[in-house]
Structure 1
Amino acid sequence: MGKIGETTLEIDLTALEHNFNHLKLRLQPKTKFLAVVKAFAYGSDMVAIAQKLENLDVDYFAVAYVKEGRVLRDAGITKPILVLHPQIANLGEMIDRCLEPSLYSPRMLREFLKVASEKEQKNYPVHLKFNTGLNRLGFWSTDVDYILEQLKDRDALKVISVFSHLAASEDSGEREFSLRQIDTFKRISVEISQKLGYQPMRHILNTSGIINYPEAQFEMVRSGIGLYGYGNDPKVDPQLRPVATLKTIISQLHKIEPGESVGYNRGFVSDGYRITATLPIGHADGIGRQYGGGKTFVLINGKKAPIIGNVCMDMIMVDVTDIDCKEGDEVLVFGGDLSAEQFANTANTISYELLTAISPRVHRIIIV
């Protein structure tokens, strides 16, 4: 391992390119690729990730909120950007920044139509989201006539795409449910295109959808977690490369005697002579308290060191009794030989939560 002097998150753009190309190979030649870079590109570095993907000629980006789209535009990103969850307070800025809204409810449609008309827009690109079973955001299939009535005889907006979101595309046990969602989406798309008089782009597949339902690619697919190295499938994960690697160092070693405790609330009480290492990372950095108690481990010199006691705000303590190590040695939290998915599974959570929780105060290093 190389030497580091603080907690760092390494972001490997070569791994990103590998994942992008791997997923592209699963697509038909004409299928467009939308890269999801919301939540600081899943906890990494949204600008560096988007710049790399734009250089790779990705077709579209998606963010959750207008603020994220603003960051990308300020960084010089020129590709179309879909805002998945716009808020009414930001609709004017959305137009000013050339961001494209997901219109997911009658209220959002009315409000955006109003703002676009006030700004004298013509054929401003919008995306209609339909709820086919996730029950989170989206119009109902019965809203189609209402949508078309609102758009009738008005040229402020143009429907660029119609889309939905699979609820359980990674779960083989829910295949029937996913296929019903896809069929429902097909019916809605046909009705929309017939009544509009043209065919907008259609997209319903996320990363697991790309892998498990290739027949439903339509004109575009969306990928988030797959770009960052995780396929939600132990058979697929080895084909991808984790983009983010979280490392830290040993700040101090302690010799603990039998009966001594470690950390807040005496979360760990030693049953013998132990050696512990204190690391400069804690729940303020994104390693939550659920990872304490000995069930989660980090790697030090290739060996497992369990996190003991309670995770502190800025520190964790690990058991290094059987590990040859010293103060200043590098520690692998996740990435490489210990994936974020493995780390997250120890606390019954998922890689998404772990990755997106990494605090901005953790120093980012971009590896090109």
Structure 2
Amino acid sequence: MSKAQETVLEIDLSALKHNFDYLKSKLQKNTKFLAVVKAFAYGSDADAIALYLQELGVDYFAVAYTSEGVVLRDAGVTKPILVLHPLPVSFETIIERCLEPSIYNWKVLDEFLQVASDKNQKNYPIHLKFNTGLNRLGFNLEDIEPIHSITNASEAICIKSIFSHLAASEDLTEKAFTEQQIRAFTSITEKFITVFDYKPVLHLSNTSGILNYPEAHLDMVRSGIGLYGFGNSEKENKNFIPVAKLKSVISQIHHIEKGETVGYNRAYKSEATMTTATIPIGHADGVGRQYGQGKGFVIIEGQKAPIIGNVCMDMIMVDITSIDCEEGDEVIIFDASHTAEHLANTAQTISYELLTAISQRVKRVIKK
């Protein structure tokens, strides 16, 4: 029986390389690769992930917020870093740390242009985000000429890329909508090139765009979830290896009599004599309450152990009545076989949410 000592998130860099190589195999030789490492690299370890991808030759990184980019710079990342959702309060930091902002509306454009001018910048790289149907962030087609008028009057900034984001590229029942987005972005790029008289880097595809829409790879692609081992479909998942393995340990075993209850609010009542194990991981670690009441399960000695009762802040209790195990044995929350996607499905959510919820108090161990 496998023994363990504590709750640990293992991060397998060989799996990361496998996923990176697979995604790269889908691209033309000259298509650039942007790695999305926001949210602690999807709940793993942004420093370790980014530094290794930098070794592997990734062209660009993207984060959501400026603070995430600062962490990468402090860790030694030298590749360009796109900040996808910068706020004006961080513009000075962006320039000081050589980060590149996504500019998505007039307020952000005006304020960044002012800060860049005040800091005597020349041709500071920015990226223009356009809305093609996700309706979250972005300029529209009719904004291109006014943007040209404003930016052409200043030498402080230069537009390094223009991009948009696909809303449903993983869902082939929405193929018509995705193709409509691709056409809309094509119209935007054609008008931009005509008005500005040069061609910036063009990027549109996320992980599922890479896999399902090769015509939309353009000059650069952006991958997040694919790097971490998920292809957004049963077919494609077979080509990826999940990077993260979350494991814990049986800290105590209880023998429960019929009619006894387990956990807070007496949420579980035993219908027969049973055995439970207490595991030191809970909703403060990212395993939310939605996984309780028998919905979620962990793996002990290769068998499913349902989570019973309510998930506690620091603990879960599982049914091990039919499992031959003992205190100190290893518990798999998710790994390459019992994946985060499998566990997330039990609570009707997605792997992204489960992965990014793993608390920073959970120890990270890097395997290379």
TM class by shorter chain equals: over 0.9
Deviations 1:46-82 (A, max 9, x none): 0000000000010000000000000000111000000
Distance between the aligned counterparts of 2:3 and 2:158, measured in 1?
53
Q: What is residue 256 of structure 2 aligned with on the other side?
A: 256
**Stretches of structure 2 lacking an aligned partner (at least 5 in a row):** none
Distance between the aligned counterparts of 1:111 and 1:45, measured in 2?
32
Equivalent residues in 2 for 1:97-108, closer than 5 Å: 97-108=97-108
Q: What is residue 244 of structure 1 aligned with on the other side?
A: 244
Q: What is residue 311 of structure 2 aligned with on the other side?
A: 311
Equivalent position amino acid for 1:303 in 2: Q
Q: What is residue 29 of structure 2 aligned with on the other side?
A: 29
Equivalent residues in 2 for 1:214-229, closer than 5 Å: 214-229=214-229
Distance between the aligned counterparts of 1:100 and 1:239, measured in 2?
32
Distance between the aligned counterparts of 1:126 and 1:355, measured in 2?
30
Paired residues of 2:39 and 2:356 also in contact (CA < 8 A): yes
Equivalent position amino acid for 2:159 in 1: V
Deviations 1:180-229 (A, max 9, x none): 00100010011111111110011110000101101111100000000000
Does residue 1:12 correspond to 2:12, yes or no? Answer: yes
RMSD: 0.7
Distance between the aligned counterparts of 1:204 and 1:135, measured in 2?
15
Q: What is residue 85 of structure 1 aligned with on the other side?
A: 85
* CA deviation after TM superposition for structure 1 residue 154, in Å: 1.3
Q: What is residue 125 of structure 1 aligned with on the other side?
A: 125
Distance between the aligned counterparts of 1:335 and 1:142, measured in 2?
47
Does residue 1:334 correspond to 2:334, yes or no? Answer: yes
3-state SS in 2 of match to 1:318: strand
Distance between the aligned counterparts of 1:273 and 1:146, measured in 2?
73
User: TM-score scaled to structure 1, two decimals?
Assistant: 0.99
Distance between the aligned counterparts of 1:54 and 1:152, measured in 2?
34
Equivalent position amino acid for 1:324 in 2: D
Equivalent position amino acid for 2:187 in 1: R
Distance between the aligned counterparts of 2:244 and 2:104, measured in 1?
32
* CA deviation after TM superposition for structure 1 residue 238, in Å: 1.0
Distance between the aligned counterparts of 1:247 and 1:141, measured in 2?
48
Does residue 1:320 correspond to 2:294, yes or no? Answer: no
* CA deviation after TM superposition for structure 1 residue 4, in Å: 2.7
Question: How many equivalent pairs are there?
Answer: 368
3-state SS in 2 of match to 1:356: helix
Deviations 1:262-301 (A, max 9, x none): 0011111000000000000000000000000101110000
Equivalent position amino acid for 1:266 in 2: R
Distance between the aligned counterparts of 2:2 and 2:74, measured in 1?
34
Q: What is residue 288 of structure 2 aligned with on the other side?
A: 288
3-state SS in 1 of match to 2:62: strand
3-state SS in 1 of match to 2:314: coil
Distance between the aligned counterparts of 2:78 and 2:14, measured in 1?
22
Distance between the aligned counterparts of 1:3 and 1:48, measured in 2?
26
* CA deviation after TM superposition for structure 1 residue 121, in Å: 0.5
3-state SS in 2 of match to 1:23: helix
Distance between the aligned counterparts of 2:110 and 2:337, measured in 1?
50
Percent of aligned pairs with the same residue? 62
* CA deviation after TM superposition for structure 1 residue 336, in Å: 2.1
Distance between the aligned counterparts of 2:364 and 2:152, measured in 1?
49
Distance between the aligned counterparts of 1:264 and 1:141, measured in 2?
55
Q: What is residue 39 of structure 1 aligned with on the other side?
A: 39
**Stretches of structure 1 lacking an aligned partner (at least 5 in a row):** none
Distance between the aligned counterparts of 1:3 and 1:274, measured in 2?
23
Q: What is residue 110 of structure 2 aligned with on the other side?
A: 110
The runs of 4+ residues in structure 1 deviating greater than 2 Å are 1-4
Paired residues of 2:286 and 2:359 also in contact (CA < 8 A): yes
Q: What is residue 355 of structure 1 aligned with on the other side?
A: 355
Q: What is residue 202 of structure 2 aligned with on the other side?
A: 202
3-state SS in 2 of match to 1:235: helix
* CA deviation after TM superposition for structure 1 residue 153, in Å: 2.6
Distance between the aligned counterparts of 1:30 and 1:282, measured in 2?
45
Paired residues of 2:123 and 2:156 also in contact (CA < 8 A): yes
Distance between the aligned counterparts of 2:290 and 2:332, measured in 1?
18
Paired residues of 2:2 and 2:329 also in contact (CA < 8 A): no
* CA deviation after TM superposition for structure 1 residue 348, in Å: 0.3
Does residue 1:173 correspond to 2:173, yes or no? Answer: yes
Deviations 1:63-118 (A, max 9, x none): 00000000000111000000000011000000000000000001100000000000
Paired residues of 2:63 and 2:81 also in contact (CA < 8 A): yes
Q: What is residue 144 of structure 1 aligned with on the other side?
A: 144
Equivalent position amino acid for 2:199 in 1: Q
Equivalent position amino acid for 1:150 in 2: I
Equivalent position amino acid for 2:260 in 1: E
